[in-house]
């Protein structure tokens, strides 16, 4: 994998491949994520996009925000579509019809990845297709009305995990999708946050350069579904990392490494913020801040602490590991 650096000056000079004028909400996390990811393009690129917020908001007929070849595919088919594109490009090269390197990127939300699309994703990974799969994770089916998904965290309000006296939000934990992809033994898996733009772009470029399937899990806050002020998207993306709700790491050929923002916390554990700092700024967790449901916040904190300890152990820097 080639050494690659990106300065803020380089970022400003790179062309915009996702143009303004789309219909995404104010403060939309996925829109920011898409712009940054496309800044990492190393040449010609083809994107396929599962049904979801960003498909709808960027391609309202007869308009498009995309300056690259882009294909809309059904909810469950992003990885299958990318695999077909990649296979077709290989055939064209073999027949002498194509000389340029063309990268293939699949975009899908948490519903199209954790749930509906996991079968196609698993199959494409197992077959070894050379493409980058980007999961923009806003933690619910936002496009269809904020329904819970396998990516929705414990205790979160959604329209299908209502918060009341009997059920205080979603009763299940979030699925560890990035670790599931590491278990597929693919060359590259990473997590990223738009609050750390250079880390996100660098990981995108690594995913494009690797030979074989790559998976990038990007936190993408949604003001509409998470119930926070639209000006706080990047701030919230940063707090998610600082509380270790969403630690940043990469796994190259199965070998885990902490990324600098999370490594700083590992080296100075006192910098790790309590999960309440993350929950209290989101309306979807507001119902937990009452005496009868405080135990759920404690449960979330314990789960985060244990997952963080396991991650440290995988990275070879763990201490006081808990089961």
pLDDT of residue 1: 45
For residue 62, cis peptide bond before it (omega within 30 degrees of 0):
yes
pLDDT of residue 321: 43
188, 210 contact by CB (below 8 A)? yes
pLDDT of residue 146: 97
State the CB neighbour count (10 A cutoff) for residue 279: 23
pLDDT of residue 10: 82
pLDDT of residue 322: 46
pLDDT of residue 3: 52
List the structure tokens of 206.
């690594």
132, 107 contact by CB (below 8 A)? no
Give me the helices (H) in the chain, please. Answer: 8-13, 29-39, 53-58, 78-94, 118-127, 177-182, 197-209, 223-226, 233-242, 260-267, 276-279, 294-314
What number does CATH give the domain 8-314? 3.40.50.970
Question: For 141, which DSSP code?
Answer: B
pLDDT of residue 9: 84
State the CB neighbour count (10 A cutoff) for residue 14: 13
Please identify every stretch of the chain with a pLDDT value under 70, giving residue numbers as ranges: 1-5, 318-323
């Amino acid at each position: 994998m080639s050494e690659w650096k990106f300065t803020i000056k380089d970022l400003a000079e790179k062309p915009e491949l996702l143009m303004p004028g789309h219909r995404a909400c104010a403060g939309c996390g996925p829109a920011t994520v898409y712009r940054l990811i496309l800044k990492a393009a190393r040449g010609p690129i083809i994107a396929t996009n599962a049904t979801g917020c960003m498909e709808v908001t960027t391609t309202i007929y007869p308009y498009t925000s995309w300056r690259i070849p882009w294909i809309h595919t059904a909810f469950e088919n992003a990885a299958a579509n990318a695999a077909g594109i990649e296979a077709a490009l290989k055939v064209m090269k073999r027949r002498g019809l194509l000389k340029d390197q063309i990268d293939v990127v699949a975009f899908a939300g948490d519903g199209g990845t954790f749930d509906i699309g996991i079968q196609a994703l698993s199959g494409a990974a197992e077959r070894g297709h050379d493409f980058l799969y980007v999961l923009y994770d806003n933690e619910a089916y936002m496009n269809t009305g904020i329904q819970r998904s396998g990516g929705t965290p414990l205790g979160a309000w959604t329209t299908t995990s209502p918060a009341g006296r009997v059920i205080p939000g979603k009763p299940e934990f979030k699925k560890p999708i990035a670790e599931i992809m590491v278990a597929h033994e693919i060359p590259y898996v990473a997590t990223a946050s738009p609050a750390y733009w250079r880390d996100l772009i660098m990981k995108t470029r690594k995913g494009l350069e690797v030979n074989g399937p790559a998976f990038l899990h990007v936190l993408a806050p949604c003001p509409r579904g998470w119930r926070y002020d639209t000006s706080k998207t990047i701030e919230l993306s940063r707090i998610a990392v600082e509380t270790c709700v969403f630690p940043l790491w990469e796994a190259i050929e199965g070998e885990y490494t902490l990324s600098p923002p999370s490594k700083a916390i590992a080296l100075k554990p006192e910098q790790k913020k309590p999960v309440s700092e993350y929950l209290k700024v989101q309306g979807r967790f507001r119902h937990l801040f009452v005496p009868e449901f405080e135990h759920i916040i404690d449960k979330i904190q314990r789960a985060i602490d244990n997952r963080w300890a396991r991650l440290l152990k995988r990275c070879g820097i763990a201490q006081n590991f808990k089961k």
